[in-house]
Amino acid sequence: MPPFLHRLFIALAVSACFVGSLSAATAKQPNVIVILTDDQGWGDLSLHENVDVSTPNIDSLARDGAEVEHFYVCAVCSPTRAEFLTGRYHSRMGVYSTSAGGERFNVDEQTIAEVFRRGGYATAAYGKWHSGMQYPYHPNARGFDDYYGFCSGHWGNYFSPMLEHNGKIVKGEGFLVDDLTTHAIDFISDHRDRPFFCYLPLNTPHSPMQVPDRFWEKFKNKSITPDPESDNQKRQNLTHTRAALAMCENIDMNVGRVLSHLDEVQLANDTIVVYFSDNGPNGARFNGGMRGRKGSTHEGGLRSPLLIRYPAVIKPGTKVSRIAAAIDLLPTLSDLAGISPDGPKPLDGKSIAPLLEGDSTGWSERFLFSTWNGKTTVRSDRYRLQGTGELFDIKTDPRERVDLAKQQPDIDIANDLRQKLAAWTDEVKPVQSKNDGKLRPITLADRRAEFHQLPARDAIGHGGVQRSNRFPNCTYMRNWTSTEDEITWDVDVLGGGRFEVEMYYACPADSVGAKIQLRIGGESINATIATANDTPQIGADDDRFKRVEGYVKDWKAMTLGQITLRPGRKTLRLRATEVPGSQVVEMRLLMFRKL
């Protein structure tokens, strides 16, 4: 059956499912698996001529499906996730940072999970969410029936770490990427008779640079071929590169597990598998000679692999040469599934399904925009213009060395792109730096949720209280030593009712007997530290490269008591009323459970 007829058949089947029974019609819809990696660059695949890494399973997606050769994401993690999940530029949606609430996109945005669930799909996400921790930003509130992983921007330990499952704190099993993949495989097995949308946002090769021994042993003494770009060569740290590539081979192994399982349950032909990364590489390693890496708005910071396999529709070895971006995935996947992506707001992305099917008839030139931390850029099929005015011909100068605007001040394409970028910037009004975002409170007590987590990363320390690391994600509060110290959260209580509160903490024996008080809106509870939890920091022994982020601990939970919450914006305060020892506790998070 020709691809366009296949898609028409799906669309008609979907229409039928809304009129009558879902079971027969939706059985013909394709399943969807989206694998998103974290800090893996375009050059971290053997598919892209990196001779130091072997990624045969990932590469097979291009061989058996399609590769979009010029695919673009954002400079850092959370903006890319927002754009993939909504099909809209992150600048429109309130994303201005990667932590402390700035990673959340607005609650009135529609997500890809909501689109597919509306179309009769079971939905799940397993991995790094990084788009908000509390309802209504939590994945369970944004269309995902099942969620397992962590909601922060990075995690402090990858071996059987503390995670969450649908809001409840749990302990992981084994190496995190392997564990997340196992959950995805189990979800596939449990839904083989119903169409499913499975989002697998893996957390590597983001630091900490941890990977099982069998992958590290191959790389720890391996010679590394330098990138053709001299700046990448000079800045490369070989140990960091070796760890990143070892992590990439672990990812490849897990992609292979997913593909093999699809074969085993006979779903491969009717399942769309998508693979991409969230930004450029987190180190100056091989990246095809491109300029820039993570955090940059040059090609090396924004270009990502995009591989899509769908045997029933996409011919093996398909190459798409036109530019595309993360904003295109929602309309493309809904198009392939025959589901309407219509939502409350217009999409910035467009379906590239015709290009995947080999039909570029009538495909007009388009322009893709990106911004981060005060930097802006626009990409056409051939050129990239930076907000600073630099213009590069990516076709002839992929390393962005020759500024055509400087060489030819009156060049028409520079003026045209400059006007387009100015118009887009005026329309979406991106923040000029990650520090300029309008601070919004942390939400608490949404009526739909049972569990409500307030981590230290969203808190403010007062007096002598210090954050365990300057990067807030996955941190804890320490140096809490006196009754003058305080830890506060700026919260917007959305619902109300009675809640049981737990605190996850660590402390030495001399902290036993310390008395603490939690207060909010005239309500308070008092508790006494009854049990020591003198635990060391975890992570350093498993790091293959010294991290810049903080370490974690084996946190213990204690019940503080019950408290009544009433709607409204308030300050939640945690303080000590008696300190018998050298400190109160080290505080990781508070967990509110609706009674």
- Enumerate residue ranges in the chain where pLDDT < 70: 1-27, 432-438
* Structural domain boundaries in the chain: 31-361, 375-428, 442-594
Sheet containing strand 31-38, strands side by side? 168-171, 162-165, 146-150, 122-128, 196-205, 31-38, 271-277, 306-309, 66-68, 318-320
State the Cα–Cα distance between residues 555 and 558, nearest whole angstrom: 10
Measuring CA to CA, which residue among 356, 361, 371 is closest to residue 295? 371
To 5 degrees, how large is the angle CA 48–CA 51–CA 54?
80
What token pair was written down for 327?
A: 């904003």
Q: Which fold has domain 31-361?
A: Alkaline Phosphatase, subunit A (3.40.720)
What residues have CB less than 8 Å from 364, skipping those under 6 apart? none
What residues have CB less than 8 Å from 374, skipping those under 6 apart? 432, 433
State the Cα–Cα distance between residues 13 and 338, nearest whole angstrom: 8
Topology agreement, domain 31-361 and domain 442-594: no
Q: Which fold has domain 442-594?
A: Jelly Rolls (2.60.120)
For residue 440, the model assigns a pLDDT of 85
The H-assigned helical ranges of 191-302 are 213-219, 230-235, 238-264, 299-302
> pTM of the prediction?
0.94
pLDDT tens figures, 415-470:
999 999 999 999 998 875 555 556 789 999 999 999 999 999 999 999 999 999 99
What residues have CB less than 8 Å from 8, skipping those under 6 apart? none
| Cβ burial, residue 410 (10 Å; 0-12/13-18/19+) | exposed
